[in-house]
A and B are shown apart, each in its own frame.
Chain A
Amino acid sequence: MTDQPRVPVRTRAPLPKTSVSSRKRRDKPRCPLLAKLLVGMLLLCLSPAALHADEPLFGFSYTTDLLPKGKVELEQWSTTRFHKAPGGQFWLQENRTEQEYGFSDRLQLAIYETYDSTAAYHNGPFGETTPAEQFSYYTPGPNDRFNATKFIGVSGEAIYRLVSPYTHPLGFAIYEEPTFGAGFIESESKLIFQKNYRDDRLVLAANMTYAPEWRRLREDENPSRKEIQEETDANIDLGASYRFIRNWSAAFEIFNEREFNSYNFTHESNSGYYLGPTLHYAGKNFFVTTNFDEQMPWAGRHVDTVPGALVGGRIIDNDFEKYRVRVKFGWYF
């Protein structure tokens, strides 16, 4: 598709992806964060306490499977997003450390922290250097090489299962995830559906997500002042996973991420379609989930689409990219 003529408009700060969480900021990144995280992991491995897990079969889609009451699980997520405008350079590394707890057999609670790194150069609309959404507080020049690392924020997560797919024809759960970062708040809500076949080895999942967010950013017209900008993500995720041999599952996901500069689905700015495979291994003490997704060239222009953000049928606004690779580790000793 052809882009519109160049207009000096800054990409409006939109927001995260689907289920996952790339949340917001804090200034001075602390290098010791990683070291502390590694120490925490090491202590976990040495802990005589026992963890139990309910692992994700998909990279992005959620299922209604929850931890049993009283059980605890540690997850480490790593999501790499790369490739935006042709000829430019872009990567974003999102890291998430999560602790889940089975409050009851129907309610699972979690808390997690997100900390990201990025590099961008001539990656955005019209080849301008454009930070990823988590780093939209920065305003580098159009030809600057931008690098940053930040502690993004803290999220809480609650999933309540109303119906189990093991005892009813269709599983159903509701999900709520508030996120708090510096100058940023988000409330992500989901409806989660799950249908199982073939001795529960074939799992179909569908998620519907509604996630309004508020971000305090510099005004476009007067950068010396800040304003609250709102945006809403509305996503649909579909996934199918099959356990083809003991411990191993293969899955395929397709999802549509939409962004609106409103709460009521008006002023749509972006819409991207992603699809890709997932491979999942679960053993007695841990699981690993690896996922790759590519944005399909199915994007179109919408009323609030930033000029220059639609390239070759793909949206490259600051919350979209061509490729995503996600790896999740979970421990339950």
Chain B
Amino acid sequence: MKSTFFLLPLAAIAIQGGAAYAATYLSVEQAQALMFPGASFQPDFKTLSEAQVKAIQHASGVDVRNREVKAWRVSTGGWFLVDEVVGKHEYIPFALALDDKGRVRSVEILEYREAYGGQIREPAWRAQFQGKDSGTRLQLGRNIRNISGATLSCKHITDGVQRLLVTYEIALKQNDR
């Protein structure tokens, strides 16, 4: 064997594609302005009770890692929520905008710190959540399209949206009445 085999890694690198790097895309304030233009926001943070955690986990099928719910009531109607889901190595913070009936208006990725999988920021992928509510069981590969190469991030964002939709139903909705 020739020691020139050591050059093979370099040759492979020469033909590779580009990279995705960790980045902060939106602050909470920027996300609020983007998702509810012209609205004002009133914080309505909550700590979930044990019973609420169990109910959310049962209804969504997703673990509740954090009992603190970061939610803002929106002056024009609806809710603005910020949460994070598990990424490959880091957490992925995201924002969810709900209309006054608890349906998804939009989803925004606030930060993405992973080496790859950042395709979840593609507008077409995030748009799949629009109109979904807690009565819809979100499932990657069924009613939410997967992105090859970003499967883990797609799955966890899907689960995160599902969990927040159910959280709204169980812990926030009564505040609207």
Contacts and interface: CB of A to CB of B under 8 A. Distances in A.
Interface of A: 26, 30, 32-33, 36-37, 40, 43-44, 47, 49-53, 68-72, 74, 97, 99, 101-102, 105, 111, 113, 151, 153-154, 164, 166-167, 181-182, 198-201, 243, 246-247, 282-285, 332-333
Task: Give 6 closest A-B pairs by Cβ, nearest first.
Answer: A50-B19, A68-B149, A105-B148, A99-B9, A72-B16, A199-B86
A111 B8 contact: yes
B85 A43 contact: no
B165 to A, nearest CB: 17
A314 to B, nearest CB: 33
B149 A246 contact: no
A67 B7 CA distance: 21
Nearest to B86: A199
A113 B1 contact: yes
Given A30-B3, A44-B13, A47-B13, A69 B86 contact: no
Contact of A282 (B89, B140, B159): B89
B90 A44 contact: no
A72 B9 CA distance: 9
Contact of B86 (A36, A153, A201, A284): A201
Given A49-B14, A51-B19, A332-B115, 10 more contacts: A40-B7, A40-B9, A51-B13, A69-B149, A101-B12, A113-B1, A181-B1, A199-B85, A243-B86, A285-B115
Contacts of B1: 26, 113, 151, 153-154, 181-182
Contact of B155 (A97, A166, A201, A247): A166
Contacts of A247: 89-90
Contacts, number: 112
B98 to A, nearest CB: 23
Nearest to B15: A72
Given A71-B116, A199-B63, A44 B10 contact: yes
Contacts of B85: 199
B116 A284 contact: no
B151 interface: yes
Contact of A53 (B21, B115, B146, B149): B115
A200 B152 contact: yes
Contacts of A70: 16-17
B77 interface: no
Contacts of A43: 10
A243 B88 CA distance: 10
Contacts of B177: none
B115 A72 contact: no
A164 B7 CA distance: 33
B156 interface: yes
Nearest to A153: B1
A201 B16 CA distance: 29
25 contacts: A33-B3, A36-B6, A37-B6, A40-B6, A40-B10, A47-B13, A49-B13, A49-B16, A50-B17, A51-B16, A51-B19, A52-B19, A52-B115, A68-B149, A111-B5, A153-B1, A154-B1, A166-B151, A166-B152, A182-B1, A200-B152, A201-B86, A282-B89, A284-B22, A284-B113
Interface string B47-71: 0000000000000000101000000
A243 to B, nearest CB: 8
Given A68-B149, A99-B12, A246 B6 contact: no
B107 to A, nearest CB: 18
Contact of B9 (A32, A44, A167): A44
B91 A246 contact: yes
Interface in B83-114: 85-86, 88-91, 113-114
Contacts of A166: 140, 151-152, 155
